[in-house]
Amino acid sequence: MISIKSKREIELMKEACKITALTYDYIEKIIKPGMSTLELDHLAERFIKEYGGIPAQKGYPSGVRGVPDFPGTLCISINDEVIHGIPSKNVIIKDGDVVSVDLVVLKNGYNGDAARTYLVGNVTDEAKELVEVTKQAFFEAIKYAKAGNRVGDISNAVDTYVRKFGFSVVKEFQGHGIGKEMHEEPGVPNYGKPGKGPRLEAGMTIAVEPMVIVGKPDIWELEDGWTIATQDGSLAAHYENTILITENEPKILTII
């Protein structure tokens, strides 16, 4: 069932989304070559808690026997890793890395979800283009995120924009509704047909999140049971925000 949020619920949700946005501003200032992804994770967790938030991804169940619950505050995925990278003291961020970070904050019983991809140090022109295209795909997509349109209008806009640059979208993972639960209906794929899918209504809150690959769209899951990487080893990027559907233009809740 798709949840339509009341004004009170939206106000509560905005607090979680604000902490999410502030955390990304903080990460942008501190991420650097030589630090481990676990150090970055611990610093982000401390920052979130100082603002009264709860790291919602920490302890998130894998749902797979033998695969432990997610151990980190952040999903940190580097270069050919697309999503769900596990923070580790053994993974050191290096000059030239493309680092995607996904974060969900819980406060007041509501979630705020966003993702950013950081270019660390001296990166290639290809990496710069990838990150810019991924970010812009989000903004192209939310032009269609208004009451009366359909989810497929958003989905098609992401894919259409990304393909202009010869890049690929990930099809196995998608955006989603969000609120009291991290993942709610409807699913918001990064490809699809315009005019298809659930109709958007004012009061819906959804996470739109282009996941883009330089090369072929094929992905695989690493042995840790969480990390998703490109099969051809090409670079990947991720950009996401929680948005509120209105009768007019959507409101981005995780940018301040």
In the chain, the percentage of residues whose pLDDT exceeds 90 is 100
Number of domains into which the chain is organized: 1
The tens digit of pLDDT for each residue in 143-158 reads 999 999 999 999 999 9
For 19, the token pair is: 């902490």
Q: What is the pLDDT of residues 204-216, one digit of tens each?
A: 999 999 999 999 9
Confidence of residue 169 (pLDDT cuts 50, 70, 90): very high
Task: Look up the domain containing 76 and give its range.
Answer: 7-252
- To which residue do tokens 């949700």 refer? 13
pTM: 0.97
Residue type, 170: V
Does residue 154 lie within any of the structural domains?
yes
Mean pLDDT of the chain: 98
Q: Taking Cα atoms as reference points, which of 179, 182, 187 lies closest to residue 205?
A: 179
In which residue are the tokens 């999503």 written? 83
Residue entry with tokens 């009451």 = 147
121 inside domain: yes
Residue 44 domain flag: yes
Query: What are the residues whose beta carbons fall under 8 Å from the beta carbon of 111, sequence distance 6 or more?
Result: 13, 16, 56, 104, 105, 178, 179, 180, 181, 182, 242
Q: Give the list of residues 6+ apart from residue 91 with CB closer than 8 angstroms, or none.
A: 36, 37, 38, 76, 78, 85
The answer to whether residue 1 is domain-embedded is: no
Q: Are 45 and 56 in contact (CB under 8 A)?
A: no
- Token readout for 73 is 């505050």
Q: Is residue 2 part of a domain?
A: no
pLDDT tens string 2-31: 999 999 999 999 999 999 999 999 999 999
The residues near 85 (Cβ < 8 Å, ≥ 6 apart) are: 37, 75, 76, 77, 78, 91, 100, 226, 227
For residue 90, what pLDDT is reported?
98
* CATH number of the domain that residue 229 is part of: 3.90.230.10
Please answer whether residues 82 and 211 qualify as being in contact, where contact means their C-beta atoms are separated by less than 8 angstroms: yes
Count of beta carbons in the 10 Å neighbourhood of residue 86: 22
Residue 110 pLDDT level (bands cut at 50, 70, 90): very high
- Cα gap 113→103, rounded to integer Å: 6
pLDDT score recorded for residue 195: 98
